[in-house]
Amino acid sequence: MTITIYGIKSCNSMKKAFTKLDELGVPYEFHDYKKQGIDKESVQRWVDSLGIDKVLNKRGTTWRKLSDEQKAAADADQNTAIELMLANTSMIKRPLIEGEHNGSTVVFCGFDEAEFDTVFG
């Protein structure tokens, strides 16, 4: 299994992640949520591994545009939050990195240059 980076191509955090992976010589595949969508099993796996607070992006405009009822429902029920992320992939934090590197399983999200150096350096 190789590294897959999930997200949206035009996102600034994604661009930083692509650049950093290239600098570190890490081969990867890119999965574009907007063009390819995402399956429930993947999102569930990420939530199980990282926690809903790490995976659900509450800082973006997509979250802010939700009704108060939708936000409350997502906060109260993880399955509702996952369904909202499937319907609105911009609500999944970016980049989300998953795969294997040097024999270790890798799953993390967000761009933190120090974390990329630690994991892939």
Domains with residue ranges and CATH for the chain: 3-120 (3.40.30.10)
pTM, to two decimals: 0.92
pLDDT at 64: 95
Q: pLDDT tens digit string along 55-90? A: 999 999 999 999 999 999 999 999 999 999 999 999
Q: pLDDT tens digit string along 54-64? A: 999 999 999 99
Residue 1 has pLDDT above 60, yes or no: no
Average pLDDT over residues 30-41: 94
Amino acid at 24: L
pLDDT at 121: 86
Average pLDDT over residues 37-45: 96
Q: Name the average pLDDT for the chain.
A: 94
In sequence order, what are the residues at sequence separation of 6 or more whose Cβ sits closer than 8 angstroms to the Cβ of residue 93? Answer: 54, 55, 56, 57, 109, 110
Cβ-in-10-Å burial (0-12, 13-18, 19+) of 95 comes to buried
Residue 28 has pLDDT above 60, yes or no: yes
Q: How many CA atoms lie within 13 A of 112 on its CB side?
A: 8
The residues that are catalytic are 11
- The CA distance from 44 to 79, in Å, is 9
DSSP codes of every residue in the chain: --EEEEE-TT-HHHHHHHHHHHHTT--EEEEEHHHH---HHHHHHHHHHH-HHHHB--SSHHHHHS-HHHHHHHHH-HHHHHHHHHH-GGGB-S-EEEEEETTEEEEEES--HHHHHHHH-
